[in-house]
Amino acid sequence: MTATTDGSGGSAPDANAANGTPRPAAPGRARPDEPPGAAPGGPETPPPPDAGTGAERSVEEAVARAAHRLLARQDPAGWWKGDLETNVTMDAEDLLLRQFLGIADETVTRAAALHIRAEQQADGTWATFHGGPPELSATIEAYVALRLAGDAPDAPHMSRASAWIRGHGGIAGARVFTRIWLALFGWWRWEDLPEVPPELIFLPSWVPLNIYDFGCWARQTIVPLTIVSALRPVRPAPFALDELHTDARRPNPRKPLARALSWDGAFQRLDRALHLYHRVAPRALRRAAMNAAARWIVERQENDGCWGGIQPPAVYSLIALHLLGYDLGHPVMRAGLESLDRFAVWREDGARMIEACQSPVWDTCLAAIALLDAGVPPDHPALVKAADWMLAEEIRRPGDWAVRRPGLAPGGWAFEFHNDTYPDIDDTAEVVLALRRIRHPDQPRVDAAIARGVSWNLGMQSRNGAWGAFDADNTSPLPNRLPFCDFGEVIDPPSADVTAHVVEMLAAEGRAADPRTRRGVAWLLAEQEPGGAWFGRWGTNYVYGTGSVVPALTAAGIPRSHPAVRRAVTWLESVQNADGGWGEDQRSYEDPAGWAGRGESTPSQTAWALLALLAAGEREGKAVARGVGYLTSTQRADGSWDEPYFTGTGFPWDFSINYHLYRQVFPLSALGRYLHAEPGGTAAGPAGVRAAGGGVP
Report whether pLDDT(36) > 50. no
Give the residue from 535, 528, 589 showing the smallest Cα distance to 553.
528
| Reported confidence tier of residue 687, pLDDT bands at 50, 70, 90 | very low
What is the per-residue pLDDT for 35? 34
In this predicted structure, the answer to whether residue 429 has a pLDDT above a threshold of 90 is yes
What does the pLDDT read at residue 694?
Answer: 31
In the chain, count H helices and then E strands.
Answer: 23, 6
Mean local confidence (pLDDT), 39-43: 37
Which residue type is seen at 232? R
Distances in whole angstroms, Cα of residue 313 to Cα of each of 107, 191, 305, 419: 24, 23, 12, 12
Note the pLDDT of residue 53. 58
Helix, strand, coil content of the chain in percent (nearest 5)? 45, 5, 45
406 pLDDT more than 80:
yes
Q: Note the pLDDT tens digit of each residue in 99-133.
A: 999 999 999 999 999 999 999 999 999 999 999 99
Using DSSP, state whether 546 is helix, strand or coil.
helix
Task: Report pLDDT digits (tens) over 231-254.
Answer: 999 999 999 999 999 998 888 887
Helix (H, G, I), strand (E, B) or coil at 492: strand
Q: Which residues contact 602 (CB under 8 A, 6 or more apart)?
A: 581, 582, 583, 643, 645, 647, 663
pLDDT at 481: 84
CB neighbour class for 618 (10 Å; exposed up to 12, middle 13-18, buried from 19) = buried
Per DSSP bridges, beta strands 2-3 and 655-659 are: unpaired
pLDDT band at residue 7 under the 50/70/90 scheme: very low
Element spanning 656, H or E: strand 655-659
| Average pLDDT value over all residues in the chain | 90
Neighbouring C-beta atoms of residue 119, cutoff 10 Å: 17
pLDDT higher than 80, residue 468: yes
Q: What is the pTM of this model?
A: 0.89
Residues 6+ apart with CB under 8 A from 344: 1, 2, 352, 353, 354, 355
The pLDDT of residue 98 = 97
At residue 9 the predicted structure's pLDDT band, cuts being 50, 70 and 90, is very low
Average pLDDT score over residue span 472-492? 88
Nearest one of 180, 84, 130, 115 to 487, comparing CA atoms: 180
Q: With both helix axes pointing from N to C terminus, report the angle between 496-508 and 542-555 in degrees, rounded to the nearest 10.
A: 20
21 closest CA partner among 272, 289, 393: 393
pLDDT tens, residue by residue, 319-350? 999 999 999 999 999 999 999 999 999 999 99
Helix extents (H) in 168-242 = 176-183, 216-231
CB 425 within 8 A of CB 502: yes
pLDDT in tens, 180-232: 999 999 999 999 999 999 999 999 999 999 999 999 999 999 999 999 999 99
Give the Å distances, CA to CA, from 362 to 25, 100, 165, 367, 369: 23, 34, 37, 9, 11
Please, what sign has the CA dihedral across residues 116, 118, 121, 124? positive
User: What pLDDT is stored for residue 51 in this prediction?
Assistant: 42
Which residues are part of the catalytic machinery?
426
CA angle 678, 45, 385 (to 5 degrees): 95
Are 467 and 460 within 8 A, CB to CB? Answer: yes
Least confident piece of the model among 42-46, 138-142, 430-434, 597-601: 42-46
How far is residue 281's CA from residue 679's CA, in Å, rounded to a whole number?
71
- pLDDT above 70: percentage of residues in the chain: 90
As a whole number of angstroms, the distance between CA 271 and CA 483 comes to 8
Query: For the chain, what is the radius of gyration of the CA atoms?
Result: 25
End-to-end CA distance of the chain: 41
Question: Does residue 486 or residue 689 have the better pLDDT?
Answer: 486
Classify residue 211 by its DSSP letter.
Answer: G
pLDDT at 551 over 70: yes
Model confidence at 677: pLDDT above 90? no
DSSP code string of 222-290: HHHHHHHHHH---PPPSS--GGGSS-TTSSSPPPPPPPTTSHHHHHHHHHHHHHHHHHH--HHHHHHHH
User: Nearest-CA neighbor of 371 among 154, 673, 12?
Assistant: 673
pLDDT digits (tens, 9 = 90+) for 275-326: 999 999 999 999 999 999 999 999 999 999 999 999 989 999 999 999 999 9
Q: Alpha carbon of 95 to those of 116, 241, 439, 514: distances in Å?
A: 11, 17, 46, 51
Q: Which domains does the chain have, with CATH numbers?
A: 55-83+357-476+495-675 (1.50.10.20), 87-168 (no CATH), 171-323 (1.50.10.20)
